[in-house]
Amino acid sequence: MSNSQPMTLIFAGPPFDNPAADVVIRSPDGVHFRVRSAIITEASPVFSDMLTSDQTGRTTDGKHLLVIAEESTVLDPLLRLCYPVTDPVFADLKDVRLILAAAMKYQMTEACTLLKKQLRSYMDAQPLRVWASACLLRFEEEAQAAALALFGKEFPIKAPPEFEQVSSGDYFRLTKFLRAGGNVPEGFKFWDSLPEDIPKPEQERQKRHSLFQELGADTPAIAFQSRPYADIVCRSSDGVEFRSHRIILCLASSVLSKKISRLCPDAPPATTTTASTLPILEFKDTPGSVLGPILEACYPTKRRHPTQFDLHQLMSMTACARKYDMQQAQDHLCRGAFWLASRERPLASYLMAARMGFSDYARSTLPNLSGELHTYGCPPEMEDTPATVYHALLINRHQSSIATSRLTGATVTQTSASPSRAAQPGASGPSTGSAPTVAKSKPKAKTPEAPDLRNPWLLNVWRQTAQGLQGCRSNELWKFEPHVPKLLKESLTKKIWCSKCEMNLGLMSGLHDMYQSVRAAKFDHDVSVPLS
């Protein structure tokens, strides 16, 4: 005889616990809602169809049982909007979005109207989140209204939670909408890509050709080469087999070494065996187009130039090499190939590396992203990348711009007779209405100033360097690096040294410090450098 007790059912709170109800709706988290069919069929034609078809089960007491995908936290307020009870109170915009999505799914017209009104109520306080929610729900009218509400406001440094689901492509089109002042073509939608925004293949081919010329050689794709005396077969997920050597794989990867030890506890045979008798090492999540080059990179062959791969194939190879801890494949193959890809398609390379968690690869791409990000268009990879990635890149570029402005603008100001420290930038992201500007302190009444003893020639050199650093691109920074030895020699001909030379020496030593700080902020995008 079994001692098992019958499972206790969990019922929702009032009014969904009335035994007189004739339908039970069960959520995935096991909560049962007792509802009246007359109410839910009137509110939802979808529920009506489900009850009149064979899509329902039966409870132990013979009532209709509907099993749906929405959690009880969504189902409870949704049903309350259908019942003649007090409407639910929503704690957060996320709750409104999830319940509104369910109302749309079940075609609850009245509930959708009420929830849309709730969505708009967040417009003034959280327009960016409303825009993202409207994109996820495909509400173009609400999305455009939220975008218009963003004019003149600054984006937060921390991305809203909805950005994990909104694509970087949607976010790119939001920035395009804001740059255009809302003047977009008829039929514009934030979630539909525009052909003019997608980089042209011929542009990328031209970049590739120039890179090959720079390298002085072609970069043919690497292919796996069969070698004699193979003692193991590596089989890819799509059934491609590569005859390999255990010792090579064990030396290349500690992970594979353990797998091979479990698969082949005995030493390999002394004589050559046929492929049908060799042990098979399965790579169930790696296709042959990825596995072949990775295995080939494990062999000690000489490669003069980095190899070119399709960006998606390359990132899959990198993921495979990291999963199996193949350091040689990463160093000799993936890094060099990514270097090529990041110069040919810098934005796409950054997005894919960041999306896959390869922060070192993503960071190495930053110096290749010169100029405004929108000039790179909207590559297809943006449609599959969460907006959090593009947002972080925009914020990083904005902060490095602020750092550059403060480092150069403040130092130009400090060359006046009364040096003063520039105001600290606010903890906010880029402005949606105009280019970021450096905050200025309130003008003060002039006070008598001591004569400026610093040399005009040196002050002019300082200003020219600061202005050059402020306006140059990342790949042009080297042009403005001050050559202190040359300056020292020239200063002798200018006869600037006297008993008051300490101030001038301070200016000269500060030139190099300024350059290094701006380089860290602008070229390396390291906004953690001290700004004072």
Between 50 and 485, residue with greater pLDDT: 50
Q: What is the pLDDT, as a whole number, of residue 436?
A: 34
**Closest by alpha carbon to 318, among 344, 302, 339?**
339
Between 446 and 401, residue with greater pLDDT: 401
**Closest by alpha carbon to 79, among 43, 120, 32, 31?**
43
Contact 412, 463 (CB under 8 A): yes
Q: What is the pLDDT, as a whole number, of residue 8?
A: 79
Residue 271: CB atoms within 10 A of its CB come to 6
Q: What is the pLDDT, as a whole number, of residue 431?
A: 57
Q: What is the pLDDT, as a whole number, of residue 426?
A: 39
Q: What is the pTM of this model?
A: 0.75
Q: What is the SS3 assignment for 58?
A: strand
How much of the chain exceeds pLDDT 90, in percent?
A: 45
- Residue showing tokens 């849309």: 116
In sequence order, what E strands does 296-357 have?
none
pLDDT band at 241 (very low <50, low <70, confident <90, very high): very high
Average confidence (pLDDT) over 407-422: 44
Q: What is the pLDDT, as a whole number, of residue 306?
A: 59
Confidence check: pLDDT of 477 > 70 = yes
Confidence check: pLDDT of 191 > 60 = yes
Average confidence (pLDDT) over 15-32: 92
Q: What is the pLDDT, as a whole number, of residue 530?
A: 46
Confidence check: pLDDT of 221 > 70 = no
pLDDT band at 529 (very low <50, low <70, confident <90, very high): very low
* Distance, CA of 529 to CA of 511 (rounded, Å): 16
Between 518 and 418, residue with greater pLDDT: 518
Q: What is the pLDDT, as a whole number, of residue 204?
A: 56
**Closest by alpha carbon to 369, among 342, 391, 395, 334?**
342
Most confident range, picked from 238-247, 300-309, 515-524: 238-247
Average confidence (pLDDT) over 424-437: 45
Confidence check: pLDDT of 156 > 80 = yes
* Distance, CA of 170 to CA of 347 (rounded, Å): 16
Helix 168-179 vs helix 387-413: angle between axes, to the nearest 10 degrees? Answer: 50
pLDDT band at 208 (very low <50, low <70, confident <90, very high): low
Contact 111, 90 (CB under 8 A): no
How much of the chain exceeds pLDDT 70, in percent?
A: 80
Confidence check: pLDDT of 43 > 80 = yes
- Residue showing tokens 């590596």: 234
* 242, two tokens: 């590569």
Q: What is the pLDDT, as a whole number, of residue 467?
A: 80
**How many CA atoms lie within 13 Å of 467's alpha carbon, on the beta-carbon side?**
7
Please give the angle made by the CA atoms of 35, 38 and 41, to the nearest 5 degrees.
90
Domain 20-179: CATH superfamily is Potassium Channel Kv1.1; Chain A (3.30.710.10)
Average confidence (pLDDT) over 131-139: 96
Residue 162: CB atoms within 10 A of its CB come to 23
pLDDT digits (tens, 9 = 90+) for 455-465: 788 888 888 88
Between 329 and 442, residue with greater pLDDT: 329
Q: What is the pLDDT, as a whole number, of residue 511?
A: 81
pLDDT band at 527 (very low <50, low <70, confident <90, very high): low
pLDDT band at 430 (very low <50, low <70, confident <90, very high): low
Helix 346-355 vs helix 335-344: angle between axes, to the nearest 10 degrees? Answer: 130
Average confidence (pLDDT) over 357-368: 88
Contact 507, 454 (CB under 8 A): yes
Average pLDDT value for the chain? 82
pLDDT band at 214 (very low <50, low <70, confident <90, very high): low
pLDDT band at 25 (very low <50, low <70, confident <90, very high): very high
pLDDT band at 36 (very low <50, low <70, confident <90, very high): very high
Average confidence (pLDDT) over 138-157: 92
pLDDT band at 257 (very low <50, low <70, confident <90, very high): very high
Confidence check: pLDDT of 108 > 70 = yes
Average confidence (pLDDT) over 100-113: 96
Give 399-460 as a DSSP string: HHHHHHHHHHHHHHHTTSSS--PPPPPPS---BSSS------PPP------PPP-S-HHHHH
Average confidence (pLDDT) over 458-481: 79
Average confidence (pLDDT) over 292-297: 92
Q: What is the SS3 assignment for 445?
A: coil
Which sequence spans correspond to the domains of the chain? 20-179, 207-222+303-377, 227-296, 393-436+453-523
In the chain, what are the helix, strand and coil shares in percent, each to the nearest 5? 50, 5, 40
Confidence check: pLDDT of 325 > 50 = yes
pLDDT digits (tens, 9 = 90+) for 62-89: 788 999 999 999 999 999 999 999 999 9
* Distance, CA of 190 to CA of 167 (rounded, Å): 10
Q: What is the pLDDT, as a whole number, of residue 269?
A: 65
